[in-house]
């Protein structure tokens, strides 16, 4: 799998948008970008994923650059409960199901 | 609906004992994955199944680790002759189908402590 680079930590004020960057400069054309988060010792929670187009769901938006070498996860109105480690993962697309390779992620702290 | 469940949630065992960790995936999910997570790190892949077939076991650290999913639903991860270095959180995930476009849903994990 292509590797990703994320800042180790970020702060965000409560109520503001949190923008979490991810670099994946070696991504291939059939690799998806996934975002998960992990709160304390809970299991990783799926947030969103995309291939080429920007995506939005009830949790977040995913903005993928045109060259696909980087992406940004946007939490539009961060709350204290969004404090977590956020993982950006790229995953090869084929029919045989690939595991996720988790890096160290970004520790987001939402401050009151 | 019910998510992925795992049991036991906590397991303390003595070095040299065998342990069996259970995963109950989301109903109807074809693919089931096992991961191991050390404190402060992201999950690390161990093995995965499509239905009852073990598709990839490249992440299993050694032959003391094995997994099965005999009826294509519940899965068991077995660690024989446990060692202290096996202490970790063991996580199970499932997805509707295999393939990169299908997200995985994780269970709460089993925290294994080998004394």
Is the predicted pLDDT of residue A1 greater than 70, yes or no? no
- For residues B6 and B68, the answer to whether their CB atoms sit within 8 Å is no
pLDDT at residue A98 in the model: 64
What mean pLDDT is predicted for residues A96-104? Answer: 73
Instruction: Please indicate whether, in this complex, the C-beta atoms of B48 and A101 are within 8 angstroms of each other.
Output: no
pLDDT at residue A5 in the model: 93
How does residue A62 score in pLDDT terms, banded at 50, 70 and 90?
A: very high
Pick from B31, B41, B89: which is nearest to A97 by CB?
B31
Average pLDDT of chain B to the nearest whole number: 95
At B95, is the secondary structure helix, strand, or coil?
A: strand
pLDDT at residue B30 in the model: 95
Of chain A, the percentage scoring pLDDT greater than 70 comes to 91
Is the predicted pLDDT of residue A93 greater than 60, yes or no? no
Nearest C-alpha in A relative to B48: A99
DSSP string, A10-63: EEEETTS-EEEEEE-TT--TTEEEEEEEE-TTSPPEEEEEESSS-EE-SS-EEE
Query: CA–CA separation, A21 vs A7, rounded Å?
Result: 8
Query: CA–CA separation, B31 vs B104, rounded Å?
Result: 9
Q: A19-55, pLDDT tens digit by residue?
A: 999 999 988 888 899 999 999 889 999 999 999 999 9
How does residue B1 score in pLDDT terms, banded at 50, 70 and 90?
A: low
Closest CA to A85 of A41, A51, A52: A41
- Residue B80 Cα, gap to closest chain A Cα (Å): 24
Instruction: Please indicate whether, in this complex, the C-beta atoms of A49 and B103 are within 8 angstroms of each other.
Output: yes
- For residues B70 and B54, the answer to whether their CB atoms sit within 8 Å is no
Cβ–Cβ contact B80 with A under 8 A: no
Query: CA–CA separation, B26 vs B5, rounded Å?
Result: 8
Q: B12-25, pLDDT tens digit by residue?
A: 999 999 999 999 99
Residue B100 zone, left/alpha/beta (φ > 0; ψ -120 to 50; rest): alpha
Instruction: Please indicate whether, in this complex, the C-beta atoms of A97 and B108 are within 8 angstroms of each other.
Output: no
Closest CA to B114 of B92, B90, B98: B90
Query: CA–CA separation, B18 vs B78, rounded Å?
Result: 7
Of chain B, the percentage scoring pLDDT greater than 90 comes to 86
Is the predicted pLDDT of residue B42 greater than 70, yes or no? yes
Closest CA to B29 of B49, B6, B47: B49
């Amino acid at each position: 799998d292509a590797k990703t680079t994320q800042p180790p930590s970020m702060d965000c004020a409560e109520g503001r948008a949190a923008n979490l960057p991810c670099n994946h400069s070696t991504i291939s054309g059939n690799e998806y970008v996934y975002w998960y988060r992990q709160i304390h010792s809970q299991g990783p929670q799926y947030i969103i994923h995309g291939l080429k187009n920007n995506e939005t769901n009830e949790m977040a938006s995913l903005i993928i650059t045109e060259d696909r070498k980087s992406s940004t996860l946007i939490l539009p109105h961060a709350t204290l409960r969004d404090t977590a480690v956020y993982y950006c993962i790229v995953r090869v697309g084929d029919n045989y199901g690939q595991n996720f390779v988790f890096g160290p992620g970004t520790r987001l702290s939402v401050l009151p | 609906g019910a998510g992925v469940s795992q049991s036991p949630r906590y397991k303390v065992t003595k070095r040299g004992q065998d342990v069996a960790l259970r995963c109950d995936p989301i109903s109807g999910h074809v693919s089931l994955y096992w991961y191991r997570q050390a404190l402060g790190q992201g999950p690390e892949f161990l093995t995965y199944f499509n239905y009852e077939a073990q598709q990839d076991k490249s992440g299993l650290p050694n032959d003391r680790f094995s997994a099965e999913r005999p009826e294509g639903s519940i899965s068991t991860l077995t660690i024989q002759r446990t060692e202290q270095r096996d202490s970790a959180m063991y996580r199970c995930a499932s997805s509707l189908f295999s393939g990169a476009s299908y997200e995985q849903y994780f269970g709460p994990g089993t925290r294994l402590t080998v004394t």
